[in-house]
Structure 1
Amino acid sequence: MINQSPINQELIAENIAHVRARIAESAQRVGRLPQEITLVAVSKTKSLDYVKIAYNLGIRDFGENRVQEALEKQAAFCLPDLYWHMIGHLQTNKAQKVFGAFRCIHSVDSLHVAEALQRVAEKKSQASGEDVRQPVLLQVNISGEASKEGMTPDEAPAIARQILSLSHLEVQGLMTVAPLVDDPEQVRPVFRALRHLRDRLREEVGDANWDQLSMGMTDDYPVAIEEGATIVRVGRAIFGERVKK
């Protein structure tokens, strides 16, 4: 259900400014440039009005969990410098709908999903006569939580090699979802482990740029940035609490 509660534009502006300031502070603490980090505003369950307000305030990247909700927003609000990211679990039967509709699919969590995207791409390429490619990230369940999607760190090298053989997928890096904790320092090892895994894959597997690390959300994105995040997925700190229906 999309949240239709009244929108406080001034508060959203303040929130975005605060998030950007924290991104800059976190980056500078570890000698990074704030421009290295892409802020993806997680707009799931929020009406299109929220997206338009955030866009007008300078946000260009938006993250969605549900395919149908995302496609409806895309159809209603399509601009050349507005970029959509699929950050939720992807079922193989939705591959046809998501391929080419997102700047990046963050949640390729298995070879099965990757192969479904590849099959769609092959058909699109044959139909158009063009070599279509989809940027993706490989989702890794670093924490080992049963409730989290993603391949295990041990599985990642073998699966990555197989996915890299799929000609229509462009692997750009890794993604993870950290556990919910009271103290963000508790999940620093999760982010550090994803960075180390990325470095290992770059060395052992190669054949991809492996530049992107999508990690960190509202409660822990400053720590994620300190540990190397290049993409942070922030919803609540921008748009406020989700209204439960």
Structure 2
Amino acid sequence: MEYDYNEDLIKMISDNILKVRESIDEATAKSGREKGSVTLIGVTKVFPVEYAEAAAMSGLKDLGENRVQELVPKVERFSALDIDVNWHLIGTLQKNKVKYIIGKTSLIHSVNSIELAEEISKRSVSNNVTTSILLQANVSGEESKHGFAPHELKPAIDKIMALPSISIRGLMTMAPIETYEGQAREVFAKTRVIFEDLKSYTGLEGWDVLSMGMSQDYKSAICEGSTHIRIGTAIFGDRSQYKPL
């Protein structure tokens, strides 16, 4: 299968990626971290597959989707084009859709229950693969957000670590829409403390991913230790013109 290049789209996205990367470098330097210590994930939620292709052609090697029904066809399209990227499932994952993505993701960011982890484990065993996951932590305490409350994480980890064919890599969190300046950073700082505590608790060498920060707050997230930031609008533009599948 051949790829029909859209040079204007590639240039727009490439320029945006460059701007975001420059901003990432500024934030890492400001916080005393090493350049290259933050992984940029381009979130193509609701955007046509051509946007994801353009990002890949611009050198972005990590792409994220919120919904299984959008991730799967994009993964298949990239496979047909022989484009190699790391796919991240960052949105809420329902148990009945786990079977569609096993073996297709580099990392599932949004494991928010033991039951979901058990389903991922079962499907991974059946497909003879090991699936890397993050536990979603609801540090802000908002009822509208999914995830484990901080006090629920250690008991959950004890159970999930015993499951076969699952590799727990760390935590993901989402900050609230700020009602006062610095609110997001407070949540990120709390999550970093929890992350470090759990790293000692688990003793896992592979506990190395702290996924937090989006277009509106990624600089604060980087200053508080985020290793993976999930950026959509700042790279791909306004998604309101597109409808989800």
TM-score, structure 2 length as denominator?
0.90
Q: Once the 2 structures are TM-superposed, how far is the Cα of residue 69 of structure 1 from its aligned partner?
A: 1.1
Q: Percent identity at matched positions?
A: 40
Q: Of 147, 151, 175, which aligns to 2:144?
A: 147
**Residue in structure 1 matched with residue 45 of structure 2 by the alignment:** 44
Q: Segments of 4+ in structure 1 off by > 4 A?
A: none
**Residue in structure 1 matched with residue 218 of structure 2 by the alignment:** 221
1:111 has 2:114 as partner? yes
Q: Once the 2 structures are TM-superposed, how far is the Cα of residue 10 of structure 1 from its aligned partner?
A: 3.2
Q: Distance in 2 between matches of 1:152 and 1:122?
A: 28
- The change in CA–CA distance for 1:184 and 1:76 in structure 2 (over 3 A counts) is farther
**Residue in structure 1 matched with residue 96 of structure 2 by the alignment:** 93
Q: Check whether the contact 1:171–1:208 (CA below 8 A) recurs between aligned residues.
A: no
Q: Check whether the contact 2:10–2:58 (CA below 8 A) recurs between aligned residues.
A: no
Q: Of 146, 159, 163, which aligns to 1:162?
A: 159
Q: Distance in 2 between matches of 1:192 and 1:66?
A: 28
Q: Check whether the contact 2:64–2:89 (CA below 8 A) recurs between aligned residues.
A: yes
Q: Once superposed, what is the RMSD of the aligned Cα atoms?
A: 1.6
Q: 1:64-79 counterparts in 2 under 5 A?
A: 64-78=65-79, 79=82
Q: Secondary structure at the match of 2:182?
A: helix
Q: Check whether the contact 1:27–1:226 (CA below 8 A) recurs between aligned residues.
A: yes
- The change in CA–CA distance for 1:210 and 1:97 in structure 2 (over 3 A counts) is same
| Count of residue pairs brought into register by the alignment | 233
Q: Check whether the contact 1:109–1:138 (CA below 8 A) recurs between aligned residues.
A: yes
1:177 has 2:192 as partner? no
Q: Distance in 1 between matches of 2:57 and 2:125?
A: 37
Q: Once the 2 structures are TM-superposed, how far is the Cα of residue 12 of structure 1 from its aligned partner?
A: 2.0
Range with greater deviation from structure 2 (181-190 or 27-36): 181-190
Gaps of 5+ in 1: 1-6, 126-131
Q: Check whether the contact 1:142–1:153 (CA below 8 A) recurs between aligned residues.
A: yes
Task: Tell me the amino acid that sits aligned with residue 211 of structure 1.
Answer: D
Q: Distance in 1 between matches of 2:89 and 2:181?
A: 24
TM-score, structure 1 length as denominator?
0.90
